[in-house]
Amino acid sequence: MTILRSRIIGLGSFLPERVSTNDDMAKIVETSDEWIVTRTGIRQRHFAAEGVSSSDMAVKAAEEALKAAGVKGEDLDLIVLATVTPDKTFPATAVYVQAALGMTHGCAFDVVAACSGFLYALRAADNMIRLGQVKTALVIGVETLSRITDFTDRNTCVLFGDGAGCAVLRAEECDGSLADRGVIDTLIYSDGRYAPELCSTGGPSTNHEVGYITMNGREVFRHAAVNMADVSEEILAKNGVSMEQVDWLVPHQANIRILEATAKRLGIPMEKVISTVGDHANTSAASIPLALAESYKSGKIKEGQLLLLPGMGAGFTWGAGLIRL
């Protein structure tokens, strides 16, 4: 039987030029390189320059991905963009990207699922491709978290960074086996009871403000590794795949200790875990596609390899993608 699969035909990423090291952070809050590295594995983060918006960074990443895919902006049928730091409260940041890429047909919309955002966006685009509703789609994760970071709060300000990552998907007929290249499966979940544990202090309909990131770090930590490992096991079992068959784990990059705990629960060695958190810090929705694109560009991840992408974030939301690149 022939089915439609979303093949990834191009990857792109963008990191702003300005780098802030842990020593730089120690100049603005009472912290140290030693504390940050030991607790999180983060050594530096990138911050967007004044005047650079999420759509600006998304367009840069998209242009790289489209070039790699040999696709023009006008050929895209769909853009799904994941972010918690939109250019404006409305319209969707995706429509600014749509206009900048010269795409005048189809549709573009945002999804808000924090650090799981790319997985939510991927599932939305993949399902539309599987149904034959669109042929070519751009899935983007982008964040300008520095704009909602409280730089007087050492509990949170050392953890986050800015950046963008994206993938171009194209519908391809396949026989539906594990050997097919493309998105094999996706799973997404949420549990709103945990919303207060990690959220913004503001919003248009509550206090007219954008707000800042506030977080119960221990509670987030406790759930992150468990949820990412559980959803990984679920997606593997559902598709009859063993952990040994997975070439790379490309998890949401929150914290090296969360990555290590997830890998331990899954019984996968750290040598098979992509870790970019040291250089990028936590870029929320951008972290998985950024890690994917950068690891592909460096030659670490190769075409044809089987990738497992678990993520977890505010909501709480969590999910996983199983992809043969």
String marking each residue 269-298 x if it binds ligand ACO according to CB under 6 A: -------------x----------------
- The answer to whether 311 touches 252, Cβ cutoff 8 Å, is yes
- The answer to whether 125 touches 112, Cβ cutoff 8 Å, is no
CB of 148 to ligand ACO, least distance (A): 12
- Rounded to whole angstroms, the Cα distance separating 257 from 224 reads 10
Residue 224 within binding range of ligand ACO, rule CB under 6 A: yes
Residues in region 138-157 near ligand ACO by CB under 6 A: 154-155
Residue 261 within binding range of ligand ACO, rule CB under 6 A: no
Of 209, 168, 235, the C-alpha closest to 12 is 168
Helix, strand, or coil (residue 175): coil
Element (H, E) at 260: helix 256-266
Residue 35 within binding range of ligand ACO, rule CB under 6 A: yes
Q: At which residue do the structure tokens 């590794």 appear?
A: 225
Region class of 284: left (phi > 0), else alpha (psi between -120 and 50), else beta: left
Give residue 38's identity as a one-letter amino acid code: T
String marking each residue 164-193 x if it binds ligand ACO according to CB under 6 A: ------------------------------
Residue 208 within binding range of ligand ACO, rule CB under 6 A: no
Closer by beta carbon to ligand ACO, 220 or else 322: 220
207 is catalytic: no
CA angle 67, 68, 70 (to 5 degrees): 60
- Rounded to whole angstroms, the Cα distance separating 124 from 110 reads 11
Residue 159 within binding range of ligand ACO, rule CB under 6 A: yes
Q: Which of 46, 252, 255, 280 is catalytic?
A: 252
Q: Which stretch binds ligand ACO (CB under 6 A): 102-110, 126-134, 247-255, 272-280?
A: 247-255
255 is catalytic: no
Interface size with ligand ACO, residues (CB under 6 A) = 23
Figure out which of the listed residues 10, 73, 289, 313 binds ligand ACO, where binding follows CB under 6 A. Answer: 313
Figure out which of the listed residues 93, 98, 255, 317 binds ligand ACO, where binding follows CB under 6 A. Answer: 255
Kindly tell me the burial class for residue 58, based on how many C-beta atoms sit within 10 Å of its own C-beta (0-12, 13-18, 19 or more).
buried
Helix, strand, or coil (residue 215): strand
282 is catalytic: yes
Figure out which of the listed residues 6, 40, 85, 146 binds ligand ACO, where binding follows CB under 6 A. Answer: 40
Q: Which stretch binds ligand ACO (CB under 6 A): 103-111, 204-212, 243-251, 252-260?
A: 252-260
Residue 112 within binding range of ligand ACO, rule CB under 6 A: no
The count of other CB atoms within 10 Å of the CB of residue 21 is 14
User: Before 269, cis peptide (omega within 30)?
Assistant: no
Q: Which residues are catalytic?
A: 115, 252, 282
Residues that bind ligand ACO (CB under 6 A): 31, 35-36, 39-40, 115, 154-155, 158-159, 198, 215, 217-218, 220-221, 224, 252, 254-255, 282, 312-313
